[in-house]
Amino acid sequence: MNRILAASLFGLSLATSGLAHAEPVKIGVITTLSGGGAGLGIDMRDAFTLAIKQSGNKDVELVIEDDAQKPELAVQIAEKMIQGDKVDLMTGIIWSNLAMAVVPNAVAQDVIYLSPNAGPSALAGANCNANYFNVAYQNDNFHEAMGQYANQDYKNSFILAPNYPAGKDALTGFKRFYKGSLAGEVYTQVGQTDYAAEIAQIRASGADSVYFFLPGGMGIAFMKQYAQSGVGIPVMGPSFSFDQDVLPAVGDAALGVKNSASWSPDLENEASKAFVESFKAEYNRLPSIYAAQSWDTANLILSALSKASAKDKDAFKAALKAADFKSVRGTFSFNTNQHPIQNIYVREVVKDGDVLTNKIVATAFENHKDAYAEQCGL
Amino acid sequence: MTRETTINLLLALLLLAMPLAAAGLGEPFYVTLATRVVVLALAATGLNLALGLGGLISFGHAAFFGLGGYVAGILATHAFNAEPLVAGIPGTTSMPIIWLTAVVIAGLVALPIGIISLRTTGIYFIMITLAFAQMIYYFAISWPAYGGEDGLSIYVRNAFPGINTTQPLPYFLACFTVLMATLLLFRLVEGSRFGSALQAARQNGTRLAAVGIAPFNIWLVAFVLSAMITGFAGALYADLNRFVGPSMFSWHMSGELIVLIILGGKGRLFGPVAGAMIFVCLEYVLGGITERWQFFLGLILLGIVLFARGGLLGLLSGKPRHA
Amino acid sequence: MFTALLIEQLLNGLQLGVMLFLMAAGLTLIFGVMGLINLAHGSLYMIGAFACATVAAATGSFWLGLIASLAAAAGVGALIEVAVIRRLYDRDHLDQVLATFALILILSEGARWVFGSFPLYLDIPPQLQGAVPLPGGGQYQLYRLAIIAVGIAVAAGLYLLISKTRLGMRIRAGESDREMIAALGVDISTLYTVVFALGAALAGFAGALVGALQSVQVGMGEPVLILAFVVIVIGGIGSIKGALVGAMIVGVVDTMGRFLLPSLLALTMPAAQATTIGAALASMLIYVVMALILAFRPSGLFAAQS
């Protein structure tokens, strides 16, 4: 009944694994594999399964299910994985609102959850949990980096985001480090596809730059319309609208745009190079940041498994918290609230042959921590 | 006993026996799945009152479902944070109080919506009810106080005196009892003078008016009652998932409730129960087989509507159309 | 400067209205002639956009893509009419809602199966790139002006088609008395297929035009579908004129609400609060307008027949 991909299907040989604990571990992966947001979930899943496959660890069993980007369905699948499949660990959720639906209940049932993408502020501060590890970022982080970077060149920025919690986290994060004045602050409708009205406001506002957080199709629509509008004021954003999953759809309109992320395909370290190579070889496309974060999540789990059994929760959590793995992001460690301490880079969209991709142009923050860790009692 | 009554009894027994067996076998997830069937069936039973008996095709019942859910979520959150709601009234984790509040609020909101919407008929009624649900949906997404799009988590399932609701089986039994009581109420309403007037209004509103009964009032009462039942189901759904979010208000949810009724058999007592059983099973089984499950779900739904008129119960009871 | 902004926003409202009209015209025509509620209309919009993006990517020509969008949407429309929709005409609205809801699931996942999970690229044709100056010192995007022009042309064309041609005469006859035209020997099932394909083609055309401005991805049709229903209900179902007026109302109210509400609220409350509450109210606005109109005119502004 379940899509169980026993890792043994593609395991190479046990000899390469060098595993101390041979007890099987079951990981539940809930991610978005159908509907408009499926691209992100597919990148997440592909990187995760590839990392497990490369490790040759035959004791890892994956249970992968599609949440169709619906919170209620995600909750139902989580219940099934916890009560039915009796998974030891869970991961995979892409969207903040789905994470908010699943994570609090999962960790309350003593299941360890590792977030490969979303990082809502509500889970980073007072409601942090010993069973919750965020391997990606806290939602504010990329926006904070761009706010910091904007100080170099801009004094009057126009900022916009969708009118929902992650959107407010985004603009709060940007404003936390941005020192100039605001030419305008606009919250758009969730799922909005036409930004003519907002672009007209930008044109009239006298801004010297635009910062936007519009994930998925919203950002693609905004960039295409903005490029055609003739406004011409420089645009900045977090990586979500400029990553490998959406760049082909945005096209040349994205060229030259500065965006912030914790990783980029050109990042100079061995783990990252090896990851990009093997992902390209396996799937014949460049990995996105979602793939990178998911790859790290898988490798973090593997590193902890080599030290402790997943059944021994306390030892396993300690092993996870040590973050003793080779991250594609270079330096990576966990803060007290079990959210990352990592560098955040500023990247620029460039063309590599025919393919649009990113290259790093600056480091906005070194070993950056989120703003909520102090409220966490861990 | 007619053939349909026998089938109804069998369905009720099946719905009760499955989770009991699953609990005995140590498979608590199937108890949760059955609870989901029960709660969705309850929500659709509410709609069935307006739609099946009264012929009022509401495409906005998600509004009441969501309201019930948010009542549970908001009261529980205030109790959890020990903050008073308004004017010193505390939140609560007591299910009876939450249920009552959910039912009352859903009814109060349904009253003005009904008064305005019932001025229209046919597709206009379908669309104006949708419009009201969409208003509430967008409000829920953009209103920051209770989580916006992220929704609200209920950290510990609310409590019912004498029942350990945190365990799947007792919570299932509580929901099952509510469903059976509501189905009884549905049967009583159907057989009452009000029920006859409602069904007469569906078939011919003008004739009803001619004998001195205003169909508007009949419809309004049915609409409000229907919203109250669906609101009740919303509160149960919130506690089942221990989460509420704006997607409970979305037009997909309204559509799903209609789908449940048609799948089972419109206007039939156990139609929503049969519909919910089929739908949840399909979603679960197909979702486990392929990531293209929505494609096959669509094909199956299409097949049912084209070739099994009268829904599952129509097919089983051998009477394609419910009189 | 404010006048220029106002003109620009009015044009934006008009352009949104024109797009909605292309969607709504087909919906209202199908409802008027066949009495069918088609929830899958948004999927035909999506198919148009996918077809245009695919052909434009393969040939490098947006214009060929546009033709492909018409052909693909009309083709798929005719196909589902013959295979599915035809069996629904004598059913009640409920069965139609369920069947076309199922079609959405099938077409969305089907499109993802064929075209993949990542959004597709579709750009504005080079001839229509850039912006033109507006009176009052503003600028306006050329492509959006072209969309407005195309929309007006389609509206005029539809008017001529329905009032002047033989097909139009049959459509009008079909709207007022279905049995009669069958008795007069018109091949009614072919007429229905043609009307459905025509509505589908308009939706696909709209999808292709908008696809160049937006993200071409699965599920793109659903928000537009709901708006198009709002339009035809405001306008009066079955009335092309109503669809045109309703589309303009929705387009302008939605755009102006998003633009003006936050700044109006800012006069009475702190700016940060005004932007979020303003955005919340703006997203509810068209539904409020629709409920108000229906409360006073329960069959819309231009009810075709009682």
Confidence class for position A294, pLDDT limits 50, 70, 90: very high
**What is the pLDDT at residue A346?**
95
Q: How far apart are CA B185 and CA B49, in angstroms?
A: 10
Distance CA C103, CA A31 (A): 24
Sheet holding A132-134, edge to edge: A4-6, A60-66, A25-31, A89-91, A112-115, A132-134
- DSSP-assigned states of every residue in B181-247: HHHHHHHHHHHSHHHHHHHHHHH-HHHHHHTT--HHHHHHHHHHHHHHHHHHHHHHHHHHHTEE-GG
- Domain A141-261+344-375 CATH superfamily: Response regulator (3.40.50.2300)
Q: How far is B131 from chain C (nearest CA, A)?
A: 5
Instruction: Using DSSP, state whether B42 is helix, strand or coil.
Output: helix
The reply to whether residue A196 touches residue C12, judged by beta carbons under 8 angstroms, is: yes
> Contacts of residue A224 in chain C, CB cutoff 8 Å?
123, 212-215
Inform me whether the pLDDT recorded for A142 exceeds 60: yes
Q: How far apart are CA B302 and CA C235, in angstroms?
A: 30
- Predicted pLDDT at B320: 52
All chains having 3 or more CB pairs closer than 8 angstroms to chain C: A, B
Q: State chain A's mean pLDDT as an integer.
A: 89
Which residues on chain B are in Cβ contact (under 8 Å) with C298?
Answer: 119-121, 124
Q: Would residue A341 be called left, alpha or beta, if left means φ above 0 and alpha means ψ between -120 and 50 degrees?
A: beta
Chain B residue numbers with beta carbons less than 8 Å from the beta carbon of A76 are 32-33, 36, 241, 284
pLDDT recorded at residue A11 = 38
- Residues of chain C numbered 121-180 and touching chain A (CB < 8 Å): 121, 123-124, 129-131, 138-139, 141, 143-144
The per-residue pLDDT for C1 is: 62
Interface test with B, best of C97, C100, C285 (most B CBs within 10 A): C97
pLDDT tens sequence across C218-237: 888 888 898 999 999 899 88
* Predicted confidence (pLDDT) at residue A16 exceeds the cutoff of 60: no
Chain B: residues touching C (Cβ < 8 Å): 51, 57, 59, 116-117, 119-124, 126-128, 130-132, 134-135, 138-139, 141-144, 251, 255, 258-259, 261-263, 266, 292, 294-295, 297-299, 301-302, 305-306, 309
**pLDDT at residue A43, as a whole number:** 93
* Secondary structure class of B159 (helix, strand, coil): strand
- Coil, strand or helix at A291: helix
Residue B222's pLDDT is 95
Chain A contact for B248, CB < 8 A?
yes
Q: Which amino acid is located at B15 in the chain?
A: L
The torsion region of residue A239 among left (phi > 0), alpha (psi -120 to 50) and beta comes to alpha
Top pLDDT among B143 and A207 is at A207
**pLDDT more than 70, % of chain A:** 94
What local confidence, expressed as pLDDT, does residue A12 receive? Answer: 35
The 3-state secondary structure of chain C reads CHHHHHHHHHHHHHHHHHHHHHHHHHHHHHHHHHCCCCCCHHHHHHHHHHHHHHHHHHHCCHHHHHHHHHHHHHHHHHHHHHHCHHHHCCCCHHHHHHHHHHHHHHHHHHHHHHHCCCCECCCCCHHHCCEEECCCCCEEEHHHHHHHHHHHHHHHHHHHHHHHCHHHHHHHHHHHCHHHHHHCCCCHHHHHHHHHHHHHHHHHHHHHHHHCCCCECCCCHHHHHHHHHHHHHHHCCCCHHHHHHHHHHHHHHHHHHHHHHHHHHHCCCCHHHHHHHHHHHHHHHHHHHHHHHHHHCCCCCCCCCC
Cβ burial, residue C172 (10 Å; 0-12/13-18/19+): middle
Question: Which residues in chain B touch residue C101, judged by CB atoms under 8 angstroms apart?
Answer: 255, 258-259, 301
Q: ipTM for the complex?
A: 0.85
Q: What is the DSSP letter of B294?
A: H
pLDDT at residue A22, rounded to an integer: 54
- Dist. CA B155–CA B158, nearest whole Å: 9
What's residue B83's pLDDT? 82
Question: What is the distance in angstroms between the Cα of B246 and the nearest Cα belonging to chain A?
Answer: 9
Return the pLDDT at B280. Answer: 92
Interface of C with A in 221-260 (CB under 8 A): 223, 255, 258-259
d(CA C25, CA C154): 10
Higher model confidence: residue A36 or residue B159? B159
pLDDT band per the 50, 70, 90 thresholds, residue C306 = very low
> Is C288's CB within 8 Å of B135's CB?
yes
Mean pLDDT calculated for residue range A69-81? 90
Per-residue pLDDT tens digits for C105-159: 999 999 988 988 888 889 889 888 888 887 777 778 899 999 999 999 999 999 8
The pLDDT, as a whole number, for residue B288 is 79
Task: Using pLDDT thresholds of 50, 70 and 90, give the confidence band for residue A211.
Answer: very high
pLDDT at A61 over 70: yes
| Chain C interface includes A221 (CB < 8 A) | yes
Return the amino acid letter for B131: A
Nearest CB to A251: which of C8, C121, C139?
C121
Whether residues C93 and B298 touch (CB distance < 8 A) is answered with: no
Which of B124, B266, B301 has its CB closest to that of C299?
B124
Q: Pairing between strand A112-115 and A89-91? A: parallel
Please tell me the distance in Å from A216's CA to the nearest CA on chain C. 9
pLDDT at A209: 95
Mean pLDDT across C77-92: 91
Out of A84, A97, A190, closest to residue B245 by CB = A97
Q: Where are the domains of chain A?
A: 4-137+267-334, 141-261+344-375
Which residue of C39, C237, C291 is in closest CB contact with B132?
Answer: C291
From the CA of A206, how many Å to the nearest CA of chain C?
11
Torsion of CA A220, A229, C156, C198, to 10 degrees: -10
SS3 letters across C223-278: HHHHHHHHHHHHHCCCCHHHHHHHHHHHHHHHHHHHHHHHHHHHCCCCHHHHHHHH
pLDDT at residue A10 above 60?
no
Residue B291 near chain A (CB below 8 Å) = yes
Residue A260 banded pLDDT, cuts 50, 70, 90? very high
Please tell us whether the domain made up of A4-137+267-334 is placed in CATH 3.40.50.2300. Answer: yes
Please name the residue of chain C whose CA is at the shortest distance from the CA of residue A171.
Answer: C272
| Nearest residue, CB atoms, B302 vs list C39, C106, C109 | C106
Q: Which residues of A touch C143 (CB under 8 A)?
A: 228
Q: In this structure, are residues A263 and A18 in contact, taking their beta carbons and an 8 Å threshold?
A: no
**Strands (E) located in A79-234:** 89-91, 112-115, 132-134, 156-162, 181-188, 209-212
Q: Do domains A4-137+267-334 and A141-261+344-375 have the same CATH topology?
A: yes
Partner residue facing B138 (CB), from C284, C291, C298: C284
Band of pLDDT at residue A140, cut at 50, 70 and 90? very high
Q: Please report residues of C whose CB lies closer than 8 A to that of A191.
A: 223
When pLDDT is cut at 50, 70 and 90, the band that residue A297 belongs to is very high
Cα–Cα distance measured from residue A365 to residue A346, given in angstroms and rounded to the nearest whole number: 9
Tell me the backbone φ, ψ of residue B63, rounded to 5 degrees: -55, -45
Residue recorded with tokens 């189905």: B183
pLDDT tops 90 at residue A189:
no
Query: And the tokens for A317?
Result: 């959590």
- Does the beta-carbon distance from A101 to B153 stay under 8 Å? yes
pLDDT at A334: 95
Inter-chain contact C213–A228, Cβ cutoff 8 Å? yes
Instruction: Sort out which chain B residues have CB atoms less than 8 A from C94's CB and list them.
Output: 51, 57, 258, 261-262, 266
CA dist., res. B249 & res. B43, Å (int): 13
pLDDT at B1: 63
Which of A11-15, A320-324, B211-215, C86-90 reaches the highest mean pLDDT?
Answer: A320-324
Contact A101 B29 (CB under 8 A): no
Which residues in chain A are contacts of C213 at CB distance < 8 A? 194, 221, 224-225, 228
Pairing of strands A332-334, A340-352: antiparallel
Chain A residues with beta carbon closer than 8 angstroms to that of B147 = 100, 165
Residues of chain B under the 70 pLDDT cut: 1, 319-323
* Residues in chain B within 8 Å Cβ distance of C230: 127, 131
For residue B62, list chain C residues with Cβ-Cβ distance below 8 A.
none
Quote the Cα angle for C16-C18-C20, to 5°.
70
Q: Which residue has the higher pLDDT, A331 or C183?
A: A331
pLDDT digits 0-9 by tens, A333-374: 999 999 999 999 999 999 988 899 999 999 999 999 999 999
Give C93's contacts in chain B (Cβ within 8 Å): 57, 122-123, 126
Residues B130, C276: C-beta atoms closer than 8 Å: no
What is the pLDDT, as a whole number, of residue B267? 85
pLDDT of C304 strictly over 60? no
Q: How far is A209 from chain C (nearest CA, A)?
A: 18
Q: How far is residue A252 from each of residues A211, A374, C126, C129, C141, measured CA to CA in Å? A: 19, 42, 13, 13, 18
Least confident of A86-100, B110-124, B301-315, C11-25: B301-315
Nearest C-alpha in B relative to C234: B124
Query: To the nearest whole angstrom, how far is the Cα of A230 from the nearest Cα of chain C?
Result: 6
